[in-house]
A and B are shown apart, each in its own frame.
Chain A
Amino acid sequence: MNRQEQPLVNTIEHIDFVKPHVFDITPHVPLVWMKDVPNDTVRLDLFFDAGIIRGTDSIPSVVHSLIFSGTAEQSSVEIHESIDALGGFLDTDLSFEGACVSVYCLREHIETISGLVANAINGLAFRESEVEDSMRSMSQKFKENKQKVKNVAQQEFRGALFASDASYSTLAKASDFEAPDVPAMKRFFKDHYLNGLTRMTLVGNLEQDTVDALIDLFGKWAVDYQPQYGKAFEATEKRLHFPVEGTVQTAIRMGKILFPKTHPDYLEFHLVNTILGDYFGSRLMSNIREDKGYTYGIGSATMELQHSGYFVIVTEVGTDVADATLKEIRSELERLQTELVPEEELELVKNYILGQLLKSADGPYAMLDMYNSVDLYGLDLSFYDEAIRKVKAMTPERVRELAGIYLKWEDFLIVTAG
């Protein structure tokens, strides 16, 4: 045994990607089903064309928060009681371009719980007291978020990055939560939920009859149109600062419009991004956290939109070192454009990415998410085989070349809050 020397490492050559069953509910709305689950757990996800970009005055957020708030017959507490009684868990998620309702339960209860969920959504009554309760909570949360540098930077970054498209850049404001516009909520709900289902996914060892029953139950909400998404966002290069009272840290968010997942450079740039800021040993972490101690964490990411995408660097640092941090970020961006990545570092990042890919494909739940994250963008599972091939073939020269195209300091929008 030699403690100085790392044991032999075997690189990953091949990963099995399991394709789920796919049915067409309508030509535009699929049901994706991962059937091989070695236990009794089930997850059902309903995706709706009800994202933040689909409305103004925070209507999408308010409606999303009210989705289980009661029907003419049942209060929200009664709805939750009936689902809890069967051991079910509900979860909802709202993002830019979509909303999602998820159910977690044991398979013996999926049909009953689905019936309860369908009734709750179909009969959503926008009870006055529920609308008020939701607005009250959201109004408080809004004020609280105004005190968080991270949140302020995130919001203002979005506003500036997508300035050329109002539906992507309009931010919530205090007045959104003051006087409820119930007719507008009802309209939004009808257009984007009752006629807004874009995808249904299911993980669970279920009978075909059960799956058919779920399609009957939810399929009637399928969209009868092809949802449109923003694509031509104009580049914004600016430096913006937003003061927040009494803070000891400054939040930094800087980034730029990039490309959609279907772009030919996507996979190779993913590797460049990993080197820069997407793992614990990344250059930004090594320099700004592990060498300088300026922050608890710093990272970079490529974010996907339906027809576009963006790149972002995120951190919160001591206020006194905010400028020094920006200087270090700049030097890391420039180093990638001028120096060749050492072979050793490149090999480490390649192995790391492949290890993460292997983990992301581990088990039916992870595999379904992986399938969604290509299928949503019109890609298929061969994308991942391509990923393995492209990652393995990556060279230091290509890293430098891509950094030169996509990571020029002058192209960045830089937002700070604190």
Chain B
Amino acid sequence: MMENSIWMVAAFYLLAAVIVVSALLVVVLKNIVHSVLWLAVCFIALAGLFLTLDADFLAAVQVLVYAGAVCIMVVFGIMLIQRGDMGKTNLFNSQTWAAGGVVALVLVVSGYLSAATHWVGTAVPVPGKTVEHIGTLLLSKYVIPFEVAALLLLVALVGAIVLAKEVKARC
């Protein structure tokens, strides 16, 4: 159940450090463009973490969809709507301390529960050819969720276009 290879352990802690530090920078930095750049770093480190979990297809999807599409789309959104001083685009609001309290509570409870629970695991390794297994399962056992996801993407596409065009149609 445990990964004991020294390289695996080193990779996990290195990637975990990169993920936590870049996520903190996403939240703390005052310029939102810098936040998005660190978000891309966080997503790529997460792809590395998926590789340590034997999920190579998911790592590729993470790089393509998150680090590629989502980050670029967010940067486009920022460039369309921000104006004025970019150095003050990502500030904290007045309830920062209350938010810190809530988050500390969530961290303590979930950290304690995940450390105290005795997980029943198996020593069976993940099969090597993940893409073949995932592809077969997606088009056989999980074909209805697969089609619903396709429909959801279509609805989101149409909805985004309608929402973004709305004001122009009125005037």
Partners in one complex: no
Q: Which residues of A contact B (CB under 8 A)?
A: none
Q: Which residues of B contact A (CB under 8 A)?
A: none
